[in-house]
Amino acid sequence: MKEQIQDLEFWDKEKFRDRSLKIMGGPEIVSIPVPDDVIVCDFCNDQISEFPVAVYLGNALCRRCLKGLKKDIRKGRKNGL
């Protein structure tokens, strides 16, 4: 069965140009411009070096977080959310 997640995309390196790193956790989200060749996971801030990169609602995901997201989505569906 082919797995499909709404709003999940896969981006090549080209699409990550002019991105900024979002620092969350405080009262405000702080954006820091990052070099084009540095991709970090928006969820755990791990560096991502494999392409294409999974992007969910505009947030880059490392492989580990992608796995977690898939689990969460499956759980959410079960709970009817």
Q: Footprint of Zn ion on this chain (CB under 5 A)?
A: 41, 43-44, 46, 62, 65
Closest separation in Å from C-beta 56 to Zn ion: 11
Q: How far is CA 64 from CA 41, 47, 61, 76, in A?
A: 10, 12, 8, 18
DSSP assignment, residue 25? S
DSSP assignment, residue 46? -
Closest to Zn ion by CB, 11 vs 43, is 43
Closest separation in Å from C-beta 70 to Zn ion: 13
Closest separation in Å from C-beta 80 to Zn ion: 27
Closest to Zn ion by CB, 1 vs 32, is 32
The helix/strand/coil state of 28 is: coil
